[in-house]
Amino acid sequence: MHIICSDLEGVFIPEIWINVAERTGIEELRLTTRDISDYDELMTHRLKVLDTHGLKLQDIQEVIATMEPLPGAADFVHWLREKSQLIVVSDTFLQFAAPLMAKLNQPTLFCHELEVAADGQITAYKLRQKDAKSKTVRALKSLDYTVLAFGDSYNDTGMLKEADFGFFFQPPDNVVADFPQFPVTRDYETLKDHIRKSLGIA
C-alpha cells in the first residue's frame, strides 16, 4: 500500500506570510522556510515583527480570507486522492490553514497550533512535535506504507529524505543547489508523471 505526503504552502496554496507582508507592507514578514532553514529562528522572528507592528490573529486571518489555492491545485488534490491516500504535512498553523483547506475539499492536514491571547495577540506557537514532517513519514513507513513525498523548501527535505520517493515542487534555486539529490518538478502534470512512475499507477 502507498500513501502520499505533501507540503501545503508553495505547493497547493500561496505563501501565507508573503501575502501578509504584501498586504501590510511589512517586508520583514516576507521571509519563509525558503530563506531560513531553522524553523524556530524563523517563527521567533515573525512573532517579534507581529508584536512590534501590533498585528493580531484577526489581521492575518483577514488576509487569508482573500486567498485562493494555486491555479490547478484543487484539481490536483482531487487527482491525488483518487490515486492514493493524501496527508498534507505542514509547518503552518490550524488557525491559518482551515479556510484554505476547505477550498481544497478538506484533505487530511497535520500541522501546528498558535497560542493566542484573549485580545487576539499571537503569543507563542505550539509544534505538534519537533521535526514533524520526517517523523510522520517514518511512522507511516513503520506501518508498511510505501511513502511518496513532495515539497518546495528547506523544511521539507527531512520528509523527502525519509520517503521512499521524494520530489521538489517549484523550489527556489538555493534549495535545489543545497539538495541536488531530489528530482525537481515545476508543474502538476510533471509531478503527476513522477507519481505514476514511482507508485506504478495509471
* Alpha-carbon span 72 to 128, nearest angstrom: 29
Ligand-binding annotation for 9, yes or no, is yes
The reply to whether 7 belongs to the active site is yes
Q: Looking at 7, 113, 189, 193, which residue is catalytic?
A: 7
Is 133 labelled a binding residue?
A: yes
**Is 7 marked within a binding site?**
yes
CA 162 to chain centre: 17
Q: Which of 9, 115, 119, 193 is catalytic?
A: 9
Please name every residue paired with 122 in a beta bridge, in sequence order, or none if there are none.
116
In the chain, which ranges are continuous DSSP H helix? 16-24, 39-53, 57-64, 73-83, 94-103, 132-142, 157-162, 173-178, 188-199
Environment class of 142 (CB within 10 Å of its CB; exposed 0-12, middle 13-18, buried 19+): exposed
Per the annotation, does 178 bind a ligand?
Answer: no
The annotation places the binding site at 7, 9, 15, 46, 90-91, 133, 152, 155
Task: Please give the positions annotated as active site.
Answer: 7, 9
The annotation places the binding site for Mg(2+) at 7, 9, 152
The annotation places the binding site for substrate at 15, 46, 90-91, 133, 155
